[in-house]
Structure 1
């Protein structure tokens, strides 16, 4: 318990360091704040370092990355202690297995990697799970639940605990190196379909739950390739896009840990670029609804101007909540066009000129809350993989046409089913609106279909429901009364608490 409390204390210090970095306005203040945050994340390992590795993507291609140590840093164990730990997990002295083994390794979030040579001459990577990391990850997940408590009471489509479960499930898988070894075997069986890519091969006799020995993959960090020729950079970019599309549409499993430390670039015997993909602990199985929904969206957008209802149906197939998307149906054509733009052009696509974040914000307008809340927690790692793909393509700066690669990956292009006919009573409200403001800032602004009012109590945080009850207000009764009256436009309730106001109404 004492160790867990200390870790929570350190997590609090990470939050403070993050706040200082966000508030740093002068260049001379930014670098020390970034260094402090990187050091605190690195010192904690586990989930904090894994979150920090995402930050390294924003620094790809820069000469002085502030978070680079989070992707590849010296291992925390002293060399003698690391070698002793490897011997213990092998069940015999390491010298009986290896001709040479480096005591200094490279650290990752959950383990550290040492280079060695087996007695038969094979160069290998020895991945050692950090001692105590299982307990640390458990504490991190508990802290995550505690830190999310102010929003954790949002149930249904707004329940942040779904994201916590998704994260916990993937972390538990990453901690078991037997599962990673199997993921490597599966990957090597599939990668023959994508030329110019390689991955480690596990040494089956030397795999343990907390130790993984696999072939060593030579190469330089992917960012080094930005100095290569146009043709070589385009070849690497093609490989990256192929890997993502085949993962989504052909194999049904995605390498979902795209931080810079997990890629290496080199040249094959013929001089052509080779992409080495490392660390298969974080692989995301793809639910069949995702490729089906994406394929339908792309097919619709490639044809004549699609109707909003057809796009809505495809987004729902993809896993988005219809009760949150329907009120913003008129914005879906613009949102879809921006998000899927690489697939809709016949010419090579310029990722650097995409301006995805700014254009999506513009297309969403007042619907940004709805769109964020409508997505499924199962999309978390898919989005992570896609974000990594885009950042690496920006660094390579080698435009290419995505459409033929999508067709090669056999993306489904089934037409969407016709949406059910809308039923709307004359004089009834169309939407249920929820807005939370604090001072002059809008904290939450969501729009649902009006019929969701029947489940009003499920939309409210637990603490808000308690405060309403203290004032004699029952959300379930309020919702039932609104339904009984025909969902007429009206205010259902409002709550003023100093500078914080909550308002819920039918419109």
Structure 2
């Protein structure tokens, strides 16, 4: 068996162990209940142990397993605190790191995808990666394009050999094993999340598409006082070279240790980027996990700009920006016009013909999106996020029943998941931001 198939088989075996481990813990839990333990305490212990196994496994794997883990990690703020605390370390590790590939493999990839003369341009390369994630890793280097302008520092993003095959194989396996993952996030439907990751996988593996998106963002934000996007220097099929960005840490660090001033400052910039990006580029950066957003302190050491990385997951929006209906519907909801809101949702395809809904229940269901815009400054917290998550995903609630009646049009799928992920990140960050003001400036239809 060659190296790649052997590694793929090992990944599959470890992923397959997740539901087996859950089944074993269920049997053990039954024995404890028969022994007198309360059902609630046994259930909490079961969920905790399942989560520890899940995130430990995902954190040690690449490919689709790592990508899936990163997608889940932004929802950490929705978990009950007594369940989230014991394995938060595994979750945050998924947001910033992964095991590196050997230096020899990196050099083989550079020769294959930048050409045999790659050393003439990439005159120095740090052997140790500065970052590693689901399908590739990043090295610092120095680039000389031969123009006489001299050398400049660059970031060299190198895709893992066989990443495409591993990514799709892992996602197929995770989709089949959704039952073993479900206990960690009760009420969250895992299969649609995996299906969306599968649909986007081809784009994320194509570094030329990523280079195109990043170059457009870099140009659009070139003179922005708060947001920095590194420009593209060179690109090959599985290698992407961009300008180097000096940053001591990402938003994941601020989630753990940030001051109130830092959380609010960089949280506000993140929201501005989320909505200004589509307006300036016609695209939505659709991977809002903290590791993609870097803190760039001011020259005097004070609060500075926010750097943005990783444009592999980008929604190319119809009409060249966010749908104007999004802003109009949010404004209608803020005005508490439930009848017009339902009519507008029907017109956009969120409510199918012949489906009857209670307009006031619709208003309640949309609270996670509308509440932050209902006041001048809104504070996103884990507690608020958990309340929204539990309310919408409790099978006994009216919101859960309503959710079964709603339809999410295809054109809104990635927008919806990005917003949910962004709200999760802001809740982890515990940030206060002028959400309404930003929508008035950048969301089409909101201020009309």
TM range (shorter): 0.7 to 0.9
- The answer to whether the aligner puts 1:46 opposite 2:75 as a matched pair is no
- Give CA deviations for 1:294-343 in whole Å, capped at 9, x if unaligned: 2222221333x4143x2112223444132485234441122234531111
Provide the C-alpha distance between the structure 1 equivalents of 2:23 and 2:208, rounded to a whole number of angstroms.
Answer: 38
Per the alignment, residue 397 of structure 2 pairs with: 365
Aligned-partner Cα distance in 1 for 2:24–2:191 = 27
Name 1:399's counterpart in structure 2.
Answer: 432
Q: Deviations over 1:323-377 (max 9, x none)?
A: 48523444112223453111122x3112126332244457992452541562235
Shift of the alpha carbon at 1:283?
0.7
1:203 aligns with one of 233, 243, 249: 233
Gap regions ≥5 residues in structure 1: 150-159, 416-507
- In structure 2, the CA distance between the partners of 1:66 and 1:163, relative to structure 1 (3 Å rule), is closer
Q: 1:217 aligns with which of 233, 237, 245?
A: 245
Whether the aligned pair in 2 keeps the contact of 1:338 and 1:360 (CA below 8 Å) is: no
Task: Work out whether 1:178 is the aligned partner of 2:208.
Answer: yes
Is the CA contact 1:301–1:344 (under 8 Å) kept in the aligned structure 2?
no
What TM-score comes out, normalization by structure 2 length? Answer: 0.75
Residue 334 of structure 1 pairs with residue 367 of structure 2? no
User: Are residues 1:89 and 2:91 paired?
Assistant: no
Q: Which has the higher contact order (CA 8 A, sep 6+)?
A: 2
| Counterpart selection for 1:298 from 327, 330, 347 | 330
1:43-101 C-alpha deviation (Å, 9 max, x unpaired): 44222211101343355898961133323335442223323332333222654333321
What whole-Å deviation, never above 9, does each CA across 1:246-284 have from its counterpart, x for those lacking one? Answer: 245564421111122211102133644211111100111
Give per-residue Cα distances to partners, 1:195-225, cap 9 Å, x unaligned.
Answer: 3111221113xx1011111112221121434
Report the structure, 1 or 2, having the larger strand content: 1
TM (normalized to structure 1)? Answer: 0.67
Matches for 1:278-289 after TM superposition, within 5 Å? 278-287=309-318
Distance 2:76 2:193 in 1: 26
Q: CA deviation at 1:286?
A: 3.0
Q: Distance in 1 between matches of 2:114 and 2:282?
A: 34
Q: In the alignment, does 2:133 pair up with 1:108? A: yes
1:133 counterpart (158, 163, 170)? 163
Distance apart, 1:111 and its partner CA:
1.1
Identify the match of residue 265 of structure 1 among 295, 313, 321. Answer: 295
Aligned position for 2:33: none
Given the alignment of the two structures, is residue 375 of structure 1 paired with residue 408 of structure 2, yes or no? yes
**Number of the residue aligned with 2:184:** none
Q: Which residue in 2 is equivalent to 1:78?
A: 102
Aligned residues: 401
Pick the structure with greater CA Rg.
1
Residue deviations 1:97-147, cap 9 Å, x none?
A: 333212232321111111222244322111111111122233245446656
2:442 matched residue in structure 1: 409
Q: More displaced, 19-28 or 190-199?
A: 19-28
The question of whether the paired residues in 2 share the 8 Å contact of 1:83 and 1:94 is answered with: no
Counterpart position of 1:385: 418
- Backbone CA RMSD of aligned residues: 3.9
Partner of 2:34: none
Larger fraction in helix: 2
Deviation (angstroms), 1:165: 6.1
- The 8 Å contact of residues 391 and 399 in structure 2, kept in 1 or not, is answered as no
CA distance in 2, matches of 1:299, 1:68: 35
Identify the residue that residue 17 of structure 2 maps to in structure 1: 13
Task: Provide the C-alpha distance between the structure 1 equivalents of 2:312 and 2:295, rounded to a whole number of angstroms.
Answer: 20
Q: CA deviation at 1:148?
A: 7.8
